[in-house]
Structure 1
Amino acid sequence: MPQTTPRHVAVIDIGKTNAKVVLIDGVTGMQVAAKSVPNAIRTDGPYPHADVEMLWNFISKSLRALHQDHGVDGVSITTHGATGALLAGDDLALPVLDYEFDGPEASTADYAKIRPDFAESLSPRLPNGLNWGAQLYWQSRQFAKDFARATAIVPYPQYWAWRLTGVLASEVTSLGCHTDLWAPDRGDFSSMVDALGWRGLFPAVRPAASVIGTLRANVAAETGLPADTPVTCGIHDSNASLVPHLGRHEVPFTIVSTGTWSILMTVGGDTKALDPQRDSLANVDAYGRAVPTARFMGGREFDVLVPEIVEPDADDLEFVISNDIQALPSFVPGVGPYGGRTGRWTSDPEHLTPAQRTAAASLYLALMARACLDLSGLGRSVTLEGPLARNRLFGQGLAYLTGVPVYASGDATGTSLGASLLFGGTLPDAGGSHALEPLQVHGLDAYIKKWWERVSG
């Protein structure tokens, strides 16, 4: 890890819904400025795919603007998982496939014969392209000539690192993100990678917390940054959220990284309760250790459940509980601990006020998070990162459901902060984190019991 921490770190943070370039003060850990753009998927070409040239244009302009206004001393990268690039020299052999595209389902039967057992990969079979290995297998069969041109297979953070520096690398947090490509207990590629003859296409594995290189000359000219600006290898976004907490909490501890996905990771936890049929798995942290993980699409589900967000008051909450108004999983099919179920309301939501819907949906997310903790394990404490850290009812509900301290992070950009810390330096303080009081409302126990009975029936 470098000895000198850059003062201003520009973090390229590509989420599934939005892409950002966030400038972090490397000394205080505070956000200085940010640029964002919707991460729209292109539907032209052979299949739905990431608009990498739109994203590159956004990244380049954002780096230039941030450097002009504040100065940029280093660049770090974090992206969503289940994504990678097939390179043919200096070009893409095929577009960067959108993991929500269902094309890889066509190869399910053949892929099942080659993919590693859950005991080896700790990676369940997920729908569509959520297993990066399934994407690659489908591409290799559907577009055999294009795939044969590939000179390198790189995870998504390292694709952007390559765009910036020209240096190729692999990295374990993205390789270990339910890809079927990695064996966490061995710290090596899975048996499938060798069986398909792909090992030679993956660049050497580099630590997330390492400088992969400095800017290409043309990138320096395009962005206005100095050519010697260091760039980190990059990291999977959920694991970036873990970085500020590693070594700071008594193990086991749970981090809930939220956004489009709600990812519950218990560092120091046991992987024995993981269930491949319930969307639980092991992530791999920045140090290469298996981290039991369970997840659901909390942000996506909340958007479906709540067309208009209105902060509920005590009367709204009491109305929801006393009238047994519940949302039952799952409103995004195929993912989460109840991915095989079809989501429904116990009462017609059109008869609810926006505040009442917000209250019921917040309780739903808390109950879903608690269900996930039965799989990933419950830590001695729970820390909420991202948008749900600002949902007071969710956090208070989870505090009641778990019986352990639940903290809402004061940092709204947990992934960006974590990625900035790949340069090293002193970890910032808690950033305004605060403990949440467990929810106290009449009838809550009966409400909770009824929800569990309904989802277990």
Structure 2
Amino acid sequence: MRRIAVLDIGKTNAKVLVVDLATGVEEVLARSPNAVRRDGPYPHHDIEALWAFVLSGLQLAAARGVDAVSITTHGAACVLVDEGGGLALPMLDYEHDGPDLVDAEYETVRPGFGETGSPRLPGGLNVGAQLFWLERAFPAEFATAWHALMLAQYWAFRLSGVAASEATSLGCHTDLWNPWQGRFSSLVARMGWEGLFPPVRKAADVLGPVLPEVAAATGLPVGTPVLCGIHDSNASLVPHLAEAPCGVLSTGTWMIVMALGGRAVELDPARDVLVNVNALGQPVPTARFMGGREMEEIMGGRIVEPSDGELRGVLERRVMAMPSLHPDTGPFPGKRFGWVGGEPDGGARMAAASFFAALMGAECLALAGAEGPVIVEGAFGGNLAFLRMLATATGRVVRGAGQGAGTGLGAALLAGPLQAKGPAALEVGPESDPLWTGYVGAWREAVARW
């Protein structure tokens, strides 16, 4: 295996890329917004528009020549399909508050954190809550469901015709999986859902070749293998599984902070701490907040590069952003966003926003018990102000893997090992300047008072 086509379906954007395992180079061939539709019974993702995008992207991949197709997608995403493979119900947008309407009833059946490593999250962020609400709100349609497929495995099913379940997706705060025992949680049997979930396969398993109609539509060779697929944050972990102990930040809409081989700590589900499952089936303590979403909202979508003078000005005046624009998530639940030291603009605003994200990331690393170097994958991997503050706040070396998603390479590595070193990471050590260390202490004190 050398060239791997990767479907990367994130919450905000969808991509098709090709990863060359001989060189480590990722080439993005196509990109599209992952739009949420407001028609129909509830907000839902446009599965058929995404399917058309997938086929057109795979046409481009086939023209370059690929040896396999791998898949990585965002979590909290489940598709109910009927006996004919069509949608039994539209794929719920996890930000919809429908599941909150039955929260009290759901709490009587969901397993505790000690069994699943999954805290109760708002809206549909627990897939178990999605299924519970859908079954009650749309009983006739739910009754036609033949399979409940996590999103990566849904796309593998569309490509190969083979239905499968997979642990990294099931272990993503779904309430459906026991990460300590590597099996479905008691919720599945309690709700009578056992028959909805097809057999569990490994993320790297080949489910089958592409269907003949997919080969005809894309130009992929008949026999091109389709891998089972992986949850996106865990795809970011794949290149680092042998590097433990370390902390890995997978950054995009969410900043997912994972501890590989860290110290044992008491995990606090009230602070958005949970347990993920890596591609080896091992539990991974994880903390998170909506880092990319909050950065975008703070900046109004205008990402700029702060100058050295703007960085220094923010540090000197201790201009600080306080958590959080999304107070239902992250390590400081209930706290509301605001500014200390005045509201900046331009490059200074970018500096303060980057420092805020780094300090939140440092808090998440501590909550997950991470030790060793810190690796930053994805959108924040090329943000030097972020990397410098993260290193200072943690007192550890931080390696920025650049602006690439990180998930694409991880998904491709399911097909085979990397045959050459990738681009060198940007390595940053802690700052000793009191301006930087003082800012860290001042921010933590301000948050405690906020």
Report the TM-score when normalising by structure 2: 0.97
How far apart in 2 are the matches of 1:21 and 1:148? 34
- Aligned 1:79-98 pairs, distance under 5 A: 79-89=73-83, 90-98=85-93
- Aligned 1:55-454 pairs, distance under 5 A: 55-68=50-63, 70-89=64-83, 90-247=85-242, 249=243, 251-270=244-263, 272-307=265-300, 308-349=302-343, 352-410=344-402, 412-426=404-418, 428-454=420-446
| SS state at 2:122 partner | coil
Query: How far does residue 274 in structure 1 lie from its aligned partner after superposition?
Result: 1.4
1:38 counterpart letter in structure 2: P
Query: How far does residue 246 in structure 1 lie from its aligned partner after superposition?
Result: 1.4
Query: How far does residue 442 in structure 1 lie from its aligned partner after superposition?
Result: 4.3
User: Cα distance 1:324–1:410, how it changes in 2: closer, same or farther (>3 A)?
Assistant: closer
How far apart in 1 are the matches of 2:15 and 2:411? 13
Superposed CA offset, 1:345-365 (max 9, x none): 12442xx33100001011101
Superposed CA offset, 1:9-56 (max 9, x none): 110000111100011112222113421011111111111111111111
| SS state at 2:164 partner | coil
How far apart in 2 are the matches of 1:184 and 1:394? 32
1:187 counterpart letter in structure 2: G
User: Cα distance 1:195–1:427, how it changes in 2: closer, same or farther (>3 A)?
Assistant: farther
How far apart in 1 are the matches of 2:292 and 2:35? 17
1:401 counterpart letter in structure 2: A
Pick which of 329-338 and 439-448 moved more: 439-448
1:287 counterpart letter in structure 2: L
| SS state at 2:201 partner | coil
Superposed CA offset, 1:295-326 (max 9, x none): 11100000111132221122112211222211
| SS state at 1:91 partner | coil
| SS state at 1:396 partner | helix
Aligned-residue Cα RMSD (Å) equals 1.4
How far apart in 2 are the matches of 1:48 and 1:83? 13
1:301 counterpart letter in structure 2: E
| SS state at 1:272 partner | coil
Superposed CA offset, 1:336-385 (max 9, x none): 10132111112442xx3310000101110111011111211122111110
Indicate conservation of the 8 Å contact 1:85/1:156, yes or no. yes
Indicate conservation of the 8 Å contact 2:323/2:335, yes or no. yes
Structure 2 runs not aligned, ≥5 long: none
How far apart in 2 are the matches of 1:418 and 1:56? 22
How far apart in 2 are the matches of 1:406 and 1:34? 30
2:241 counterpart letter in structure 1: L
How far apart in 2 are the matches of 1:188 and 1:80? 21
Determine which of 20, 26, 31 is the counterpart of 1:25.
Answer: 20
Pick which of 407-416 and 33-42 moved more: 407-416
Query: How far does residue 410 in structure 1 lie from its aligned partner after superposition?
Result: 4.2
| SS state at 2:325 partner | coil
How far apart in 2 are the matches of 1:41 and 1:348? 36
How many residue pairs get aligned? The number is 447
Percent identity between matched residues is: 50
- Which residue does the alignment assign to 1:45? 40
How far apart in 1 are the matches of 2:236 and 2:151? 17
How far apart in 2 are the matches of 1:271 and 1:169? 33
How far apart in 2 are the matches of 1:271 and 1:428? 34
Indicate conservation of the 8 Å contact 1:382/1:404, yes or no. yes
Query: How far does residue 332 in structure 1 lie from its aligned partner after superposition?
Result: 1.6
1:423 counterpart letter in structure 2: A
How far apart in 1 are the matches of 2:281 and 2:437? 40
Query: How far does residue 169 in structure 1 lie from its aligned partner after superposition?
Result: 0.1
2:162 counterpart letter in structure 1: V
| SS state at 1:447 partner | helix
| SS state at 1:241 partner | helix
Pick which of 167-176 and 417-426 moved more: 417-426
How far apart in 1 are the matches of 2:418 and 2:315? 45
How far apart in 2 are the matches of 1:331 and 1:365? 12
Pick which of 199-208 and 302-311 moved more: 302-311
| SS state at 1:338 partner | coil
1:56 counterpart letter in structure 2: W
User: Cα distance 1:271–1:334, how it changes in 2: closer, same or farther (>3 A)?
Assistant: farther
Superposed CA offset, 1:228-256 (max 9, x none): 11010000000000111111x1x221111
Query: How far does residue 217 in structure 1 lie from its aligned partner after superposition?
Result: 1.1
- Which residue does the alignment assign to 1:11? 6
| SS state at 1:293 partner | strand
Indicate conservation of the 8 Å contact 1:104/1:135, yes or no. yes
User: Cα distance 1:271–1:340, how it changes in 2: closer, same or farther (>3 A)?
Assistant: farther
Superposed CA offset, 1:243-285 (max 9, x none): 11111x1x22111110111111011235633111000101000
